[in-house]
Structure 1
Amino acid sequence: MKIDWNTSVKPSLKSNLKLSNRLQKIEQMVTAQYDHIWDCCCDHGLLGCALLSRPEATTVHFIDIVPQLMTELESKLHRFYSGSTWKTHCLDVAKLPLAQYKGKHLIIIAGIGGDLMIEFIEAIYKKHKDLNIDFLLCPVHHQYPLRQKLIALDFSLKHEVLIEENRRFYEIVLVSTTSTEKKNINPVGDEIWQSQSGLQSDIADKYLKKTLNHYQRIQQGFHQGKTNDVQHIIDAYHAVKL
């Protein structure tokens, strides 16, 4: 989603940024106080701007590897958010300069697959194991391998939700590297299947069926000698109770 800064954003209307359902839910999951929030969402800075509109004294870091996008965004931030604390970084997400900034960090990564997300998380954690870091993650696919990696890294779960947007399903997972209250991450999710409404129950049911169909097709390929064996993943999702 690209922001039309000339028409949709004015200095007096910063809090009225139009977020998609997915980005809105991600923003709502930022409930703790962080010293630094790193927006790595491939969304032209929309989420970070929404976070800047909050009253909390937090530095929001905008990340993108495309120089032109960062130059344009920085110009708009100077224009509309001159009174807020923010920084722009034109670099690879795997190379975030976290050690240069003291305090508690939240790294938000969305809009990419779980496979690439794994690479970023591994690189960041390897360099900054001694820092207090939370990750807020919303992969577009490869959720199971991502969860397996988070478990292998011994991260703990803070919160997770499941949403549907434009007939696509998204798991949004908030995890911590240093949580004092150890809550294990489930390979197929736990809280995402616990519905509080008929609508959410329907979303969970559709997502479970879609996920099972996906892995069952892969398993058919295994029997034909084309793919890896994923029966253990199918069994794990079959064990989910709605």
Structure 2
Amino acid sequence: MTLSKRLTAIAELVPDGYDEIWDCCCDHGLLGIYLLKTAHVNNVHFVDVVPELMVKLENKLRGIALNKGQATWQVHCKDVSQLSVDHSKRNLMIIAGVGGDLLISLLTALLQANNTSKQGDIEFIICPVHHCYQVRHECQRLGLGLVAEKIVCDNNRFYEVLHLATHSKQPISATGQQMWCLDNIEHITYLNRLVAHYTRMQQQSQQGYFQQALNAYNKLLN
């Protein structure tokens, strides 16, 4: 099964050993199906709010031959923000392919609904389609810590993939820390695009937020 570079990068950040993996906003379920076949996980949940997609996906999953001992699966047609997890199990929630504002809203709702401060830990892998600087700031505010991160270029678009956890004590850098390899021409290209973007935004609005982001990314270049 062939995945896009973006989905492959996400899959590569998924370690073994989870009881439950939640493929949220799963669209056609390609990532979840890949993990269902390859990851050492007990159960994979496919979650999306579009009924037609979920019916097609469930029919597709029923036709997939799984070897004995492989993970089971469940399909949920519901709003991701309304999910609750069993904290006696190790859970990983993957949210990709959505914008920064929606992603922040989903993370906020999930952490509040699951009351992780009292019930237990939860882990996320996120891959926003834009606004990564803002997403990182909000993840800091929500009390999440970094586990791992990487940059991927897919069809000339750059994405940041972050593995986060409520139990991690490693701070989340607003501009990224582990993921940069400034000897890599793709990473330099991405960084220059970010600097150009925040330069335009700062010139248009003169907001301190954009200047702050611009200063932070320029530091990486120097």
Q: TM over 0.5: same fold?
A: yes
| Structure possessing the higher radius of gyration over alpha carbons | 1
Normalised by the length of structure 2, the TM-score is 0.91
Q: Tell me whether 1:203 sits opposite 2:190 in the alignment.
A: no
Mapped pair 1:166 → 2:143: no
SS in 1 for 2:124: strand
Partner of 1:66: 50
Q: Deviations over 1:22-59 (max 9, x none)?
A: 10111111014111000014440100000111262420
- For the Cα contact (< 8 Å) 2:84–2:113, is it kept in 1? no
> How many angstroms does 1:236 deviate by?
0.8
**2-side partners of 1:160 and 1:103: how far apart?**
24
Distance in 1 separating the partners of 2:23 and 2:133: 23
Distance 2:221 2:17 in 1: 34
Equivalent of residue 136 in structure 1, options 121, 125, 129: 125
Q: Give the counterpart letter for 1:190 in structure 2.
A: Q
Q: State the Cα distance separating 1:76 from its structure 2 match.
A: 1.5
CA displacement, residues 101-160 of structure 1 (integer Å, 9 cap, x when unaligned): 740110001111111100000000011112321110101101011000111122111100
Q: Is the 8 A contact 2:21 2:44 kept in 1?
A: yes
Q: How does 1:26-45 map to 2 (within 5 A)?
A: 26-45=10-29
Secondary structure in 2 matching 1:239: helix
Corresponding residue for 1:188? Answer: 175
Q: Is the 8 A contact 2:6 2:154 kept in 1?
A: yes
For the pair 1:46 / 2:30, whether they are aligned, the reply is yes
* 2:97 is equivalent to residue 117 of structure 1: no
Paired AA for residue 200 in structure 2: R
TM-score, normalised by the number of residues in structure 1: 0.84
Identity rate, percent: 39
SS in 1 for 2:44: strand
1:157 is matched with which residue: 139, 146, 156?
146
Give the match's secondary structure for 2:47: strand
- 1:126–1:163 distance in 2 versus 1, CA, 3 Å: same
Contact 1:193 1:241 in 2 (8 A): no
Residue 234 of structure 1 pairs with residue 214 of structure 2 = yes
1:106–1:136 contact (8 Å) kept in structure 2: yes
Query: For the aligned residues, what is the CA RMSD?
Result: 1.8
Alignment coverage as a number of residue pairs: 216
| Structure 2: gaps spanning 5 or more residues | none
Residue 74 of structure 2: aligned partner: 87
Report the alpha carbon displacement of residue 232 of structure 1 after superposing the two structures with TM. 1.0
Deviations along 1:193-219, one digit per CA (max 9) or x if unpaired, are: 135xx5xx1111011110011111111
